[in-house]
Amino acid sequence: MTTPPRNDSAAPRILLAPMEGVLDHLLRDILTQVGGVDRCVSEFIRVTDSLLPDHVFLRRIPELHHGSRTGAGVPVRAQLLGSDPAALAANAAALARLGAEGVDLNFGCPAPTVNRHRGGAVLLDEPDLVHDIVAAVRRAVPADVPVSAKMRLGHRDESRMLDCARAIDTAGAAELVVHARTKADGYRPPARWDRLALIREAVALPVVANGEMWTVDDARRCLEQSGCDALMLGRGMVADPGLALAIRRPDEPPLGWDSVFPLVATYWERLGSTVAPHSRAGRLKQWLNLLRRRFPEAEAAWDLVRPENDPARVTALLFAGQPGSD
């Protein structure tokens, strides 16, 4: 098998992944301010058998109020999850009316609750249904609104991997992101980036590589093994807000804690106006838990606030007198 060569002189296009319960509009805004991200995808909006009211879309993707862009001007594509082609099409049309940059379809979520309700990665056992969903959404939105999809290598195994990729391609999608693990793999390493080369050979649409990229070296190896020229970063970008910039500019010094801590302080401040007090500390600890993978200072911060849930105590312990905490 031969994979078409990739133009190594060009920096890869970088997308920010949807991460349910983690990468909401607050964190999207902060991470895109750092730079290096070309496009975001929202957390999924679950569709059953009805048309959702506009306020559901606007609450989940407040960037729709601002041209479907983050504060840094980075486009945000709306992601839908479900199994009813007609209902998904109707909701996609509503998003297009609200000015969504595009519509992305979720065939990759591994969450057991989602899969039990016939959503996400479980649909990869049904390539015909995957095709019908993409085709229905493509027909429902204007031609200038891109429709994309995200999938894993399969549900329990990879036996229908190429069938699903071809189904998405022939249904009219403009782009396919592939998380290089099956649902059964969960998030256990390794990600099998070499499988993406097989998918690229089987389809005509652009394929974006996703999964297990924590460092610049990981990204380099993924590009080499997959032959892709675009990446989607998820946990790696949350753990290292400078990762996208570092991939683009590997010869420049990486983002340090002195630059990251003010981002954490901004996030904490914004949580105060959008999240209930009893949930605020948990959201901060969730981010610190990933940041400590990359920054020793985040490990120390995590140790300080881990037992605390009172916002005033967290502020006193972590932010009082710290640079960037005003």
End-to-end Cα distance, the chain: 57
Any idea what the Cα angle at residue 112 is, between residues 95 and 61, rounded to 5°? 20
Q: Which residue has the tokens 């920096």?
A: 11
Strand partners, 15: 39, 232
Taking CB atoms within 8 Å and a gap of at least 24, the contacts of 277-281 are 277/311, 278/309, 280/311, 280/314, 281/305, 281/308, 281/309, 281/310, 281/311, 281/314
Strand 13-16 and strand 76-81: the pairing is unpaired
Dihedral of alpha carbons 78, 79, 80, 86, sign = positive
What CA–CA distance (Å, rounded) separates 292 from 289?
Answer: 6
Note whether 145 and 98 are within 8 A (CB): no
Which of 109, 101, 57 has the alpha carbon at shortest distance from 81? Answer: 109
Is 164 one of the annotated active-site residues of the chain?
no
Burial of 57 (0-12, 13-18, 19+ CB in 10 A): buried
Angle at 283 between CA 120 and CA 38, to 5 degrees: 60
Residues in the chain: 326
Active site amino acids = 109
